[in-house]
Amino acid sequence: MTPARTRGPAADTRERLLSGTLACLRESGVEGTTIAAVSRASGLSRPTIYAHFHTLDELVHRAVETAAVDLSARIVDGLADTHSPGDAMVEFVVAAHREFKADPVVALVVDMSVDPELAGHGEISPAMFQLTRRPVRAMLAGETEALERLDEIIETLVRFLLSVLAYSSENTRDDVRLRAYLRRTMLPALGLSPATDLARA
């Protein structure tokens, strides 16, 4: 029997640095997140920071990406009661929108996805596709036809998600309106349907 692997000191150090960076971003925004601030928040020295991340930008990007992955996992965990893959997709976007309004770090996910310098000259970044692949695959589990269109579904979902997060309207004013809007517009674009008993909402 092989002994279980344990996390090494380097992984623990990176986790402390990412947690410290997220704390700085939530408290002071991007402008107030400096190497000195991360050092204070994480309790680690500047040389230790630079031993793990070459630049502050790299550290901030990794921290925001980590927060996005964690958020995605939390949202998917909360989708167990949805009645169809279509409903799961709608609730995924509604929950992400709710978090976006509550957490400044989630807002940075959008900034990093649509800023031309950060997103590869206006393209949806490969990282954004990677962040969405696992939750979308989980939402489509058992749906053979939909899984064959996985990349197309991911791209369409990401486009709707970024649009909803970046631009407010009457349709995004609250969860009820947003849910109804997504059922009318996003689900047909995804080629999915809501559960029959929810389609009227």
Q: Alpha-carbon distance 140 to 7, whole Å?
A: 32
Which among 54, 56, 18, 19 is positioned nearest to 35, based on CA atoms? Answer: 56
Segment 35-64 shows an average pLDDT of 94
The region that residue 44 occupies, defined by phi over 0 for left and psi between -120 and 50 for alpha, beta otherwise, is beta
Q: Looking at the domain that runs over 9-54, which CATH code has it been given?
A: 1.10.10
Which among 30, 40, 34, 39 is positioned nearest to 56, based on CA atoms? Answer: 34
The answer to whether the beta carbons of residues 64 and 109 sit under 8 Å apart is yes
Whether residue 179 has pLDDT greater than 70: yes
pLDDT at 79: 85
Segment 78-90 shows an average pLDDT of 88
The answer to whether the beta carbons of residues 105 and 67 sit under 8 Å apart is yes
pLDDT at 115: 55
Segment 120-140 shows an average pLDDT of 74
Q: Alpha-carbon distance 26 to 21, whole Å?
A: 9
Whether residue 125 has pLDDT greater than 50: yes
Q: Alpha-carbon distance 128 to 59, whole Å?
A: 17
**Mean predicted lDDT score pLDDT of the chain:** 84
Whether residue 114 has pLDDT greater than 80: no
Whether residue 177 has pLDDT greater than 70: yes
pLDDT at 142: 85
Q: pLDDT band for position 112 (50/70/90)?
A: low
Let me know how many helices (H) and strands (E) the chain has, helices first: 10, 0
Whether residue 99 has pLDDT greater than 70: yes
Q: Where are the domains of the chain?
A: 9-54, 55-198
Q: What is the pTM of this model?
A: 0.78
